[in-house]
Structure formats: C-alpha cells, structure tokens
Amino acid sequence: MAAATFKRVVLGLHRSVSEETAIGAAADFAGLLRLDLLGLFAEDPNLLALAGLPFGRELRTREGGWRPIDAEQLARAMEAAARRARRAFVEKASSMQLTADFRSVKGSIAELVESLLSAGDIVAVPLPISAAERATAQFSRLFEAASRSAAAVLLLPSEIARQTGAIVAVAATPADTGVQIGRIIAAAAKEEFVLVDAIAGARMRPESLSAPLLSGMSERLVVLTRGAIDEARVQAIASARRVPVLVVEPEN
Amino acid sequence: MTSDQSSAGKGSLPGAVTALPADRLYRPSDLSKLAFASTAEIEPLEGIVGQQRALEAVQFGTKVEKPGFNLFVIGPPGTGMRQAVESLLKSRDQRETVPPDWVYVNNFADPQRPVAIDLPAGKAPEFRDAMRDLIEELKTALPAAFESEDYQTRRGAVDEAFQKRQAEAFGAIRGRASEKGIAILRTPLGFALAPTRDGTVVPPEEFNAWPDAKRRETQRTIEELENELERIMRQVPQWEKERREEIRKLNRETAKYAVDQSIEESKALLKDIPRIVEHFETVHNDLIENVGMFIAKGEEGEGMAMGAGPGGPFDRYEVNVLVTQAGRERGAPVIEEPHPTLGNLIGRIEYVARMGVLGTNFRLIKPGALHRANGGYLLLDVRSLLLEPFSWSALKRALQQREIMIEDPARFLGLASTVSLEPAPIPLDIKVILFGDRLLYYLLAAFDPELREQFKVLADFEDDLSRSPDSEMVFARLVAAITRRDGLRPVDRSGVALVIEHAARLADHAGKLTLLVDQIRDILAESDFWAKEGGRSAIARVDVERALDERTRRASRLRDRAQELVLQNVALIDTTGACVGQINGLSVTELGGFRFGHPNRITCRVRPGAGKLVDIEREVELGGPIHSKGVLILSGFLAGRYAIETPMSLFASLVFEQSYGGVEGDSASAAELFALLSALSEVPLRQELAVTGSVNQHGEVQAIGGVNEKIEGFFDICRVRGLTGTQGIVIPQSNVQHLMLRKDVVEACTQGKFMIYPIQTIDQGIALLTGRPAGERGADGMFPADSINRLVEDRLRAFARIRRSFGEDRAPESREGAH
C-alpha cells in the first residue's frame, strides 16, 4: 500500500495505557502525514459481565488484595475514563488543527477496531508499559484484531524516546513497501531516511530481540513491512527502542 | 561733622564713651597682594581652604587600619566638607588595593542559607558567565546524551530484561488461563480473571446455567490462577525497583560523562580559586543527582529538583553577583548612599509572588551600600541615617561584628510569615564616614555610648577663616574656582572685594571670612544673573550689591512689617527724648535663614519690697532660661554694688513691652539693668539710643550675637523718622570686632548722623544714657552726690527704711507676688 493512500489514523484506547502519551503520539503521526484522526474508546461489556459473576473480583494494583467488583462503580469508572480520554483527545487534536473524531462505544475494543478499519487506515495500538497489561485480553485482542486487519499498524510505546531523529525502514529487500513509505515519511518530517537490512541485522545479536537491527541509530520512527521480521520482535522493538513502529502491509 | 567730633560734643563727662570712627564699622577688603582685573586672570583654588585641622583628621582617620576608627565629619552645612572628603579620598584611593568581588550561590545542602564567596576583583562576572555557559551547554548536552543511541540501547537492554522477565511470568499464566478458557481482564482498578467463550466473558446467566461440577471446576481454576497472578503481581514492584535502580545507575553514568566534560572546561577558567573549585564540585554532584530537569520529559526515576525558588529549576546553578569591581583597576570604592534605609544600607531579600505565595531564593539577595563599599569607604549623612528606622543600629552592629548580615525587618517585626533566607554573613572591612552638624554629633556622643566605639575620629570643619591680606587672596582664588566650575562670568576686582566683605559679614566678624562656600556660590550665581541682565561680561561690584539687596528684599517682608508697626506707633518705640525706667533694647529674629534686628521697649518699675527682681517674661513663661539667667544676674549686680549694709528691700519688675512671643538670650540684660538703674535713680534715659549687650555681676558688659543686624534694625527706624544726629546704638566693646555694617549705616555714621558707642562697663553706659556720671565710691565709702550710683543707693536705703517702718522686713518673700 502506498503512503499516499492512507486516509486516517484510528487510535484504539484501552484502559491499560497512558492516554495522554498515546493520544499525543498518534496525533503527531497524523499531523506529520496530514491524516484524519479517529479516537475509539470502548466501554467493555466483558467487564460488566464479569461484575455479574458470583466469584467476580479484581486484584487491586494500588491497595493490593482482592476486592469484589461493584457493577455500578465499574460503570461509573468507565464513563469517567471515556470522558477523560475524550477531553485529552479533543484538546490535542484542536491544538494541532487535525480533522478528528472521537467515539466512545459500548463493546470490545477489538471488535470495534475490526468493524471500522479499512485499507486506508492506520490503526494505532498503544503498547502497555507492563507485561501484566500486555497479558490482558483487551490488549491481546486489540493487537490481534489490528494485525489481522488490512490496515497498517502503528505501535505506540508508553514512553517516546525522542521527537527528532531518523526514519528507519527495516526491510528484507529495497522493494519492500515499508521502504517506500519510510522515504515519504522522512521527507514529510524532514528527517534522514535509513534503510536497514532485516536479514543481516537479525544475524548480528541473536540473543536480543531489538538491539541488533538498529544498533548505532537515533531514530524517531521505525517502518517495516509485515513479514519482514516476526511479530514478537515488532512489539519488542517498539518497547525497547521506545519509538513508534509502523507495520505496513506488503504491496501484494 | 565726624563721629569723633560728634561724640566729643555729646560726651562731656570724664571718661565718657566716644562713638566709633567709620573705619571701625566696616572693614573693606585688601587685595593688594593680588594684581588682577577679574577672576579670569587668577589661578583658581584647588581643594579646600581653611580646613587644615579637619583635613588632617580625615587623613588620619582614613589611614588608620584599626577597627572603630571610622570618621564623624561635622561642621555647618555648606562648608563643602563632603566634597573635600570625597576629593581627598579619590586622590588617595588610586594607591589602595581593589577589594574582592562577592557572590552568593545556592547552598545545595540548605537552600535557606545561601553561601557567600569572595573572588579576586573583577572575577565574579566571569564566574557567573562560566556557570551560565555551563548550564546552557548542559541543557543541550544532557538531552543529547540521553537521546543518544548508546544510552537508548543500554536503556533498552535494561527495559527489555525487565519486560522479558515479566513477559515470561505473565505469558505463562496467560497461557495456562487460556488453555482452560479463562481470560485475564484489565479493570479500571486492577486485574481480574473470568471464564470466556468465543473471546467474550461468559454472561452470568449462562454461567449460572452450567452444571454445578463445571461451575465449581471453573471457580477452582480461577482461584488457582488468581493466587498465581497475585504472586506474580507481588513480585512486580521488586522487579520494578530493580529496573529503576538499574536505570538510575545508567542515568548517573550517562550524566556524569556529559557533566564531567563540561564542568572541567568551566572549572579550568577559575581553577586558582579554591572556593570556586569547591563550588563546582558541589554543582557537579547536584547535576548528576538532578539530571532529570535537563531532560525534556523527565527521565523515569529522575525527580525534578525541588526548592529551586521562584526563577525555575535552573536558578539553583546561577551566581548572584552581589558586588563586583570589574572595570576598577586600582583604588578602593568610595560609595555614597543618600537614602540609607535598612535595605539600602545592609542589603535586602526580595520576593516574587507566584500563585499567591511570596517566594525567594539566593538570586533575590540585593546588595546594600555596605556591600558596595566593602574594602573602601562609605559616605553617609547622619541625619538621613538617623531618620531611617533600624539603620543606625544596623550600621553599628555591622561595624561591631565586622560582617554584613542581611536582615529582613518584616520578619523581626512579624509582618511577614513567609519562608525567607539567612544568607551567610560577609566579612566587612570598611571605613564609614558620617557627615552631620555638630548638634547631632554632640547629642549622639552624649546619649549613645557606642558612637565613641565605632567613630573614634572626629573631623570638625571650621565655620570661618581668619581674615588677612593672604586669606583674602586665597578667597579671591576660591571665587575664581567657583565661577569657573559653575560656568559663571568672571568677577571683576571690585566685585571680588565686595564678595569678600560679604563673607566677613556672613562670618559675623570683620576679622574672619565665612567658609560656607555654598552661600558664596549662591551669591555669585545671583550676581551672574544681574550681570547678564545688565549686559556685562564680568560680574561687577554693582551686580554683587544688587544680588545682596535683592536677596534681602525677597526675604524682608516680615522685617518691613515689624518696622511698619513701629513707624505707625503701634509698637511703641521712642527715638527722641528721655524717659525714666524705659529703654530701647534690641533683638534679632532669624527666619528661613534671614536675620533682622528690631528695637524693643524695655521698662522697669520699682517699689519697696523684699529684694525680689521680677522678670515678667519669666513669670508668664515667655522668657527662656538664658534670658531669666540674665535678669537674675542683675540681682547679683545690685546686691553686690548697692545697699551693702542694708537688706535689699526692692521689688522691681522688668518687661519687654509689646512682646507676645518668647524672649530668649541675655543680650538685653545690660539694657534691663539700665532701665532698672533709671527707675531707681529716677533719672531719665535717652530714648534716641538703643542698647544691646549682656552684663555680669560685676557690671562688665559682654559680647552678644547679631550686632550688625541689631544696629541696622534701629538705624532703619531712625532713618525713616529722620536722623537727628543724636541717635545711635550702645554696644559691647567686645562686639566692635564683629562690625560689618551696611553701607548706608556707615555713611550716616561718617556724617555724624548716627553713632555707635562701644562700652565696657555699666557705668560707662549709664553715664552715656543719662548724661550724668555713674560715680565711684569715695574714701568715705559713699558715691558722689547726684551721681547715678548715689541716687540708686539712696533709693534702696529709702526702700529699706520704708520696709522697716512697716515691719515687713521679715515678711515671707512669697507675698511679693501678691502685690
């Protein structure tokens, strides 16, 4: 898919990420390519179902220990989270003068994303900071849904290492779609474009998932074509390098 | 007719007083030692004249390098003492060492107590700039270091190891849960486990419809997974702590590398100053601990520095240059503080309001005059100093402790409760020079024992200078200097002569010249104006005369009104004829710097009594203590001269007629005695004469002040009424040296139309005023018949007899007042 055909960035917000960081990173990316921005917040019915189960309880991360889940309190908390996310989203989009929309919908975030995505979309998936969060059903289903879709996927780390730096494309061949898109983004961002040989890089330090590919670089975005490296390493690159990673579909 | 002829004509009594010749009434200047047409030809005077004693004191005081040898310079305003001292200091300060610079820097261990550091002269700005450059450089270098690939790679490795450990643990539980149809869910407040079907949580109604065994099995599985999840979650904080420690260590290493390089470069510039090197070390450690403030978004695990104060986090590394000698190559500073408030004197701590709270830090410490003058000289006006609350005490304390401690008055007055600073005191090495008038010095010396401890050197500036051809020549050069310095026209020879003569008049002494240079400067400025008005290129005598006349005219409204009252017979003053118990006294009024004399009628009434002389002014509390003293001296005179063998049986009352204000001074005591003697002898006194002078118990007439103005005041009345040729003034002989009379008075005296009679004794005066001899006791112990003294004594004896005849000689004295 050519970069010119991207129309919008769809940001799927879930409860396990820092909303401000995810919204900021998604908006910056949309602004860079002058794309529309759609924010999605799911008020997950699974949680309400959980509250109805007789043994339904939660392990509180702050105070510790298991507590029963109060359905009403849960509903209020989700509404408040939705309002908070909307406010942050609108503020950021306004400040950047983006064409933006925000929807708060009852349903699973994965299903929502799946139902809305089209080929011209980039789905932005915020990566939780902790492994516990990544182990949750909400994140894994969102990630799987995004990966299954025809849209490109933008993985957003919970912290962004730098705002400026090279645009790096990791590709098996120079003809990869990621190379083409990386060049376009680099031109838009007025940054250096660097092409990394995925196959050669993978041989350098096999004990690490992320480092060898990008050793010696100060990048701000990594672009790669789906299939150029395995899925597990994609998340690892985003987390370890703390830069957004854009995964695009191959041309064919 | 000359005055000598005149007095000879009037004074027919043996030993009679003669009127003064005209040359004793006014001493013209003698510029014979200096040939010049105008001051343009004279070398202007450099420095100051006639103040050798004071200048030597200043020289001494400024050279003594011991504590407490500060100077107190006193003298009348306008003597130019401040300029003289400044000029002297500036001439010597080039030989003195330049004092160090002082800065305040942050105390990283205790920010409320900023640290003071001294640096070699002129180095403080360098230090400040070096520190500023360092921080600016680090603002770029540190973020760059933390964004570097090397750091990010190492950081990524730390995070990755942590993530890997967590991912393995959570991945395992997730896998086990997934196998059994259980999902881990994120709730708003934590994590939960729930049975799922097709990726969604089994609804409660469906779950409840499950067979019991299946429900129990699911619940048991969930409980097991919950225990495992809890166990892993409990480990997460420890893993997180380990990760943070790793990152902190990495951050320190990264920061240290960047900071070391930059700080070594900055330190190298000032490496010879141990305290600066020490401060750089402290900054170095603080930078590494607080590197987070340099990284745009704040690195995880790096807290922002707190307590940095109002100016932002980087303020803590700034340098507050309190005082610098940059640009001064030689010499000590000479600082003058015209408004010595406490803050202006010892420095102050300023505050800025932020979010409704007053805050401060070491950068808001402002220097005072003591800081700026430290190592040099501080010049202060003592009156201004005393008028400012706390300043005098603070100055003494600083001198006593030999250090400058900035104090906030709002704190010790309880007006502010905000957190403030306690800056480290700065050692004080200063010479303070106070300027003031003599009264203030003597009052302070009397009431403040610390004055002598801290101001051991007194420099007392003279009011005047002995007059001689030499000093007049110097004065002419002074006039030249003033005209050149102030851009005035030169003064011609006759003009200079009049200025000098006026200087003698200002000194109240024909044999002295005033040193109130400011007054001379004012006269010259006004004369210059009149010269300009007259189209003259040089100031002539006529211009100086015009300036003096106009000055007098502008200020003389009150004098003219007083004279008008006399001329209209509202204020009763006789200038002809004779009268018993009545005399013209003279007084001087000074208002707004203008003095004028005017006559006052003094009367006396006598009768038998218990020897009391009543001063009516004193009885009604209009007489001051010196006036009362003068009147009481009269009693002593009477008792000592008359009625030696009989008790004093007199009741006399003396009063300044038509006087409605206070009367002070003893210059009318001679006149009062003449009135008393006239009343006792019943011999009339000449009203064409006015009298001034004080008297002692032996009947000697003593000098008084304002003699010129007094003479002129009576002369003006006589002149308007018409000079008779018999009018004049009786003055103490000792006042003759002070005479510098107005031109018209001198002319009248020269023409014999007015007389100035100098007397030394009461006897001389009474003879002059009555036309009868005073009389001296003969061998028989009696005064000659018909002499004034005889008449007085006879009258007193008669009073004694009367009292005896009435048996009142033992009457209590207090009864006198009831009559």
The rounded average pLDDT for each run of 10 residues, N- to C-terminus, in chain B (819 residues) is: 36 71 93 89 86 90 89 88 84 77 94 93 93 91 84 80 83 88 86 86 87 90 90 86 90 89 85 91 91 65 45 86 89 92 93 80 93 94 94 94 87 68 93 94 93 93 91 93 95 96 94 92 96 95 96 92 93 94 93 90 90 73 77 85 81 86 84 94 96 94 95 96 95 96 95 96 95 91 92 91 73 43
Residue with tokens 């010499």: B331
Note the pLDDT tens digit of each residue in A225-235. 887 777 777 88
Please judge whether A217 and B149 are an interchain contact, meaning their C-beta atoms are less than 8 angstroms apart.
yes
CB nearest A53 (choices: B167, B173, B204): B204
Q: Is B750 exposed, middle or buried (0-12, 13-18, 19+ CB in 10 A)?
A: middle
Question: Looking at the partner chain, which of A53, A78, A209 has a beta carbon nearest the beta carbon of B188?
Answer: A78
Q: Work out the angle between the directed axes of helices B469-485 and B517-533 (0-180°, nearest 10).
A: 60
Domain count, chain A: 2
Please, which residues bridge with residue B589 across strands? B596
Q: Which of A159, A192, A222 is where one domain is finished? A: A159
Distance from CA of A98 to the nearest CA of B (A): 24
- Closest listed residue to residue B507, CA positions, set B464, B469, B473: B464
Q: What is the dihedral of CA B330, B332, B335, B340, to 10 degrees?
A: 150
Verify that A251 and A206 share a domain, yes or no: yes
How crowded is residue A121: how many other Cβ atoms within 10 Å of its Cβ? Answer: 23
> B189 and A62: CB-CB below 8 Å?
yes
In a shared domain, residues A146 and A190: no
CB atoms within 10 A of CB A237: 25
The two tokens of residue B692 are: 């001034």
Instruction: Inspect the interface and report whether the beta carbons of A15 and B200 lie closer than 8 Å.
Output: no
Question: How many CB pairs below 8 A link A and B?
Answer: 161
Angstroms from A101 CA to nearest CA on chain B: 24
Rounded distance between C-alpha atoms, residue B31 and residue B25, angstroms: 19
* Spatial distance between the Cα atoms of B81 and B76, rounded to a whole number of angstroms: 9
Question: Looking at A159, A175, A192, which one is the last position of a domain?
Answer: A159
State residue B304's pLDDT score.
42
Whether residue B671 contacts residue B756, with contact meaning beta carbons closer than 8 Å, is answered with: no
How close does chain B come to A1, measured CA to CA in Å?
A: 30
| Among A68, A168, A56, CA closest to B149 | A168
Q: B226 and A59: CB-CB below 8 Å?
A: yes
CATH number where A73 lies: 3.40.50.12370
Examine the domain organization and report whether A105 and A179 are in the same domain. Answer: no
| B597 to A63, B545, B814: CA distances (angstroms) | 98, 20, 37
- CA-closest candidate to residue A112, choices A24, A23, A39: A39
Query: Which chain A positions have a beta carbon within 8 Å of B200's beta carbon?
Result: 45-46, 49, 108
User: Which tokens belong to B280?
Assistant: 């750089």
Query: Does residue A20 sit in the same domain as residue A83?
Result: yes
pLDDT attached to residue B444: 94
Task: Read off the pLDDT of each residue in A132-156 and give the average, rounded to a whole number.
Answer: 86
Instruction: State how far the Cα of A13 lies from the Cα of A40, in Å rounded to an integer.
Output: 6
Q: Report the mean per-residue pLDDT for chain A.
A: 82
The model's pLDDT over A95-120, given as tens digits with 9 standing for 90+, comes to 999 999 998 888 777 777 778 887 78
Cα A85 from Cα A102, distance rounded (Å): 9
Which residue in the set A56, A215, A239 is minimally distant from B192, CB to CB?
Answer: A56
- Of all residues in chain B, the one with the smallest CA distance to A240 is B156
State which residue of chain A sits closest to B192, comparing Cα positions.
Answer: A58
* Distance (Å) from the alpha carbon of A191 to chain B's nearest alpha carbon: 16
Question: Which chain A residues contact residue B160 at CB under 8 A?
Answer: 208-211, 236, 239-240
Contacts of A130 in chain B (CB under 8 A): 166, 236
DSSP annotation of B785: T
This model of the complex carries an ipTM of 0.85
- Contact criterion met (CB < 8 Å) for A132 and B156: no
Q: Are strands B365-366 and B319-323 parallel, antiparallel or unpaired?
A: unpaired
Left, alpha or beta for A72 (phi > 0: left; psi -120 to 50: alpha)?
Answer: alpha
> Residues 6 or more apart from B546 whose CB is under 8 A from it?
B527, B530
Q: For residue A166, what is the domain's CATH number?
A: 3.40.50.2300
Give the Cα-Cα-Cα angle A104, A105, A107 (nearest 5 degrees).
140
Closest alpha carbon within chain A to B153? A211
Q: Do A108 and B200 touch (CB under 8 A)?
A: yes
Record: contact A137-B185, CB cut-off 8 A: yes
Q: Do A58 and B200 touch (CB under 8 A)?
A: no
Kindly report the nearest CA distance between residue A143 and chain B, in angstroms.
14
Given A16, A108, A163, which is nearest B186 (Cβ)?
Answer: A16
Same structural domain, A23 and A142: yes
d(CA A103, CA A38): 8
- CA A133 – CA A153 distance, rounded (Å): 19
- Distance of CA B642 to CAs B367, B546, B669, B795, Å? 73, 53, 18, 10
Structure tokens at B264: 């070594």
Residues of B in contact with A52 (CB under 8 A): 203-204
Residue of B nearest to A58 (CA): B192
Residue with tokens 């005023």: B769
Interior angle at CA B693, CA B691 and CA B699, nearest 5: 105
**Beta carbons of A47 and B187 less than 8 Å apart:** yes
Radius of gyration for chain B, computed over Cα atoms and rounded to the nearest angstrom: 47
Chain A CA closest to residue B186: A136
Q: Do A50 and B192 touch (CB under 8 A)?
A: yes
Co-location of A169 and A98 in the same domain: no
- Nearest chain A residue to B226 by CA distance is A59
A214 and A91 within one domain = no
Taking the C-alpha atoms of residue A229 and residue A231, their distance in angstroms, rounded to an integer, is 7
Interface test with B, best of A79, A133, A136, A158 (most B CBs within 10 A): A136
Which pLDDT does position B207 carry in this prediction? Answer: 87
With an 8 Å Cβ cutoff, are A239 and B160 in contact?
yes
CB contact under 8 A, B160 and A161: no
More confident residue, A103 or A213: A103
In three-state secondary structure terms, B459 is: strand
Instruction: Say how far apart CA B258 and CA B300 lie, in whole Å.
Output: 18
* Closest residue in A to B223 (Cα–Cα): A55
Q: Are A109 and A46 in contact (CB under 8 A)?
A: no
Q: Where are the alpha helices (DSSP H) in B108-148?
A: 124-147
Same domain, A13 and A72: yes
Q: Are residues A155 and A170 in the same domain?
A: no
CB contact under 8 A, B163 and A81: no
Contact across the interface for A16 and B148, Cβ inside 8 Å: no
Give the nearest partner residue to A46 out of B157, B185, B208, using CB atoms.
B185
Strands (E) in B511-593, as ranges, are 512-514, 578-579, 582-591
Contacts of B153 in chain A (CB under 8 A): 211, 215
Same domain, A41 and A98: yes
CB B667 within 8 A of CB B692: yes
| Contact at CB, A53 and B194, closer than 8 angstroms | yes
User: For A47-72, what is each residue's pLDDT tens digit?
Assistant: 888 888 888 888 888 878 888 888 88
Q: A136, B185: Cβ pair inside 8 Å?
A: yes
Q: Cα torsion for B48, B54, B57, B63, to the nearest 10°? A: -20
Per-residue tokens: B498 = 């009049």
Nearest chain A residue to B240, by CA: A130
Same domain, A132 and A239: no
Q: Which residue in A has a C-alpha nearest to residue B175's C-alpha?
A: A135
Q: Which residues of B159-183 are buried (b: 16+ CB within 10 A; e: fewer)?
A: bbbbbbbbbebbeebbeebeeeebb
Name the one residue in this structure whose structure tokens are 């949750």.
A136
How is chain B split among helix, strand and coil, in percent rounded to 5?
Answer: 50, 15, 35
pLDDT of residue B311: 66
Query: A62, B188 in Cβ contact below 8 A?
Result: no
Using CA atoms, how far apart are residues B760 and B754, in angstroms rounded to an integer?
A: 20
* A210, pLDDT greater than 50: no
Residue at B4: amino acid letter: D
What DSSP state is assigned to residue B228?
Answer: H
**B792 contacts B676 by C-beta, under 8 angstroms:** no
Q: Which domain holds residue A139?
A: 1-57+66-159
Which chain B positions have a beta carbon within 8 Å of A162's beta carbon? 147, 152
Instruction: Name chain B contacts of A232, Cβ cutoff 8 Å.
Output: none
Judge whether residue A204 has pLDDT over 50.
no
Domain end (from A138, A159, A180): A159
CB contacts of A108 in chain B (<8 Å) are 199-200
Residue positions of B annotated with a catalytic role: 667, 710
Domain shared by A123 and A177, yes or no:
no
**Burial code of B573-595, b = ≥16 C-beta within 10 A, e = fewer?**
bbbeebebbbbbbbbbbeeeebb
Q: Positive or negative, the Cα torsion across B204, B206, B208, B212?
A: negative
Please give, rounded to a whole number of angstroms, the shortest distance from the CA of A138 to a CA of chain B: 7
Residue of A47, A61, A132 lying closest to B166 (CB–CB): A132
Interface probe with B: pick from A18, A48, A55, most Cβ of B within 10 Å: A55
Contact A125, A118 (CB under 8 A): no
